[in-house]
Chain A
Amino acid sequence: MSAVEARVAQLEEIFLRFELKAESDADNKTGGPLVPRARHYELAQALKEAGWTSYVAVVASHWLEEKKGETVVDVEHFEVATALRSVGAGTLVAKWRVRLELNEDIDSLFPLFAGADWQEREQYDLVGVSFKGHPDLRRLMMPDEWVGHPLRKDYAIETGCAPWR
């Protein structure tokens, strides 16, 4: 059993413990399994203890209301995907997604991973997802007085901005 296979087996075992569908990394083009919001922090903690010690990224995306004809298929929501990496031989990325309704927030991973600090600030700034428990949730890229979150789908590219002072 190679180092990669061992890691894959370990990841599948952890995902099964969280009642998630285990997916192999090779043809996994879903961005990882959907995790309930309440278990997001718990899963990150379990993965950190199992050796996924390096913080990779958090990606928030905004999904508009989807309609098929007149019927609403899906309401407007956010999706927050997180990735952690195990280091050394057989390195493997563990990915999972959390679906958020518009008024919901998600637990910050800052207490576990210091690298989540700036990544979460960036996603808050650009997409507008709120991270609960973040010590310093300010805008990272845009100026403090900026209105709106540029990476939302209803934010037009041609939005005007006040001159920089």
Chain B
Amino acid sequence: MAVAETPPAAPVTPAAQATPIAPVTQVAASTGPLVPSGPPRDGPIPPIRAARTPRTDCKPTKAFVPEPHLDLSTYEADADLMTLSLGPQHPSTHGVFRVVLYLDGEQIVKAVPYPGYLHRGVEKLCEKLMASNITPIIDKNDYVAPMTNEQAVNMAFESLMGVEVPVRARYLRTVLAETQRVASHLLWLGTFGMDLGGALGGGTSLFMWCFRERELILDLFENLTGCRFHYNTHTVGGNRHDVPAGWPEMLHRTLGAIDERLDQYLGMLEHPIFSARTKGVGVIDADLALELGLTGPLLRASGVDHDLRRDAPYHAYAEVDLKVFVEDAGDCWARSKVRIEEMRESIRISRILVDNLPPGPICSTKPLKMVGQHKLPPGQVYVGIETPRGELGTWLIGGGANKGSSPYRLKIRSPSLHACAVIPYVLPGCSLSDAIAILGSLDPVMGEVDR
């Protein structure tokens, strides 16, 4: 309809047709102002593009009911339906991820995600390995928060083997998990600023600020484990690295510095451009969030008061009074607010627990010396913990034909998979620029989606 109604392109003026394009001559370096080469032109300059009458019906013409499995043959488009493949290398997908968007003008009609570009067969590989070998591999799943990944899989092994974790290790694990949460949310905030373009201090400024502070936390982890990124510090029955001298003071210094800067980030939420780009964009209501299995900040931003750290305490979370932040709006702004408030709470908990580290051993099992030292009994357990992205679960099946120390079947329930599964429900009805903001606010990590 719109194509038929646009007036025909303005005819190219005969004068412009007759004038041959003059060859580009080198401008004399000597004197005088710069003048365009070629003969002087008479009359007005012809427009580069034909004038178009602006569309007056550019509004969301349809009251949109998101339909993830929409049959496009039944959809009546206002303009021609355009197919746009976003990704797999698009920076706003935060990894290797492809979403095929069907656009009616600027409005997204249907979104079909294609994950799987980072599939590495981790679950198959784990069926051949022992717990001590699995830990460094699981590190690479959620490469933004490796600490919590290690904890999830080791807690599943501990649960199936009936291994107790000493109190000191439980406290240390809590400190590490919460510090990791700050680092992970900082990375999200930086990349979210990149996604929004100039909305947060212009392009890369926020990204650089967040990485500056994340580096401090990586220094902290390097001091403890010797690695900046893939730590391999957890083992069945506890931790492998005890706190070195001066580490608690270093943690206080680092987290105190970050805590001061959090106020600046909270102030950014009130920035008019940031509000305009995120408020009311990508609303996920509570019912859909629950049905889809969304967890973590995404669920809490939709108004569901649920946090495994408080509702099913593990580690040492029962010892602290955890405050859980809930926002009702369910839009990108609410998700940002929840994450930034969570950082402050994580900093508070870490600082309390590191001061109260109880003395004692940090591991209840002997260091692994031989293959088959830890036997996996037959049985099935599911252990879910609250990572920065939500509930990371490990379903572990022991015994079976393996009858050794490697699992019969290991399934990782990743929160990012469910975060990506919400895309077909949220994107339809939005404009293309909103899609980038929504993808950024979901904070998926593709290594965890595809495994």
Contact = CB atoms under 8 A, between A and B. Distances in A.
B291 A31 contact: no
Interface in A116-165: 117-119, 122, 126, 135-136, 139-143, 150-151, 153, 155, 157
Given A91-B306, A151-B409, 19 more contacts: A29-B379, A29-B380, A54-B290, A55-B292, A59-B395, A59-B409, A59-B411, A83-B393, A83-B395, A87-B290, A87-B299, A92-B312, A95-B382, A97-B380, A115-B418, A118-B421, A135-B69, A139-B116, A153-B401
A56 B124 contact: no
B397 interface: yes
A85 B408 CA distance: 24
A64 B293 contact: no
A93 B69 contact: no
B382 A31 contact: yes
B59 to A, nearest CB: 29
A61 B401 contact: no
Interface string B158-189: 01100000000000000000000000000000
Interface residues of A, number: 48
B355 interface: no
B57 interface: no
Interface of A: 4, 29-32, 53-57, 59, 61, 63-64, 66, 81, 83, 85, 87-93, 95, 97, 112-115, 117-119, 122, 126, 135-136, 139-143, 150-151, 153, 155, 157
B378 to A, nearest CB: 9
Nearest to B295: A54
Contacts of A56: 293, 382, 384, 391, 393, 413
A61 B421 contact: no
A57 B413 CA distance: 6
B311 A91 contact: yes
Contact of B305 (A61, A88, A122, A141): A88
A157 B121 CA distance: 9
Interface in B295-312: 295, 299, 304-306, 308, 311-312
Given A54-B293, A59-B395, A153-B401, A114 B288 contact: yes
B382 A93 contact: yes
Contacts of A113: 291-293
15 contacts: A4-B312, A54-B290, A54-B295, A59-B397, A89-B311, A113-B291, A113-B292, A114-B291, A115-B421, A117-B421, A119-B293, A122-B417, A142-B116, A153-B401, A157-B125
Contacts of A66: 401
Given A54-B295, A93-B382, A64 B119 contact: no
A11 to B, nearest CB: 14
Contacts of B124: 150-151, 155, 157
Interface in B394-426: 395, 397, 400-401, 408-409, 411, 413, 417-418, 420-421, 425
A31 B292 contact: no
A118 B291 contact: no
Given A54-B290, A54-B293, A81 B395 contact: yes
Interface string B135-164: 000000000000000000000000110000
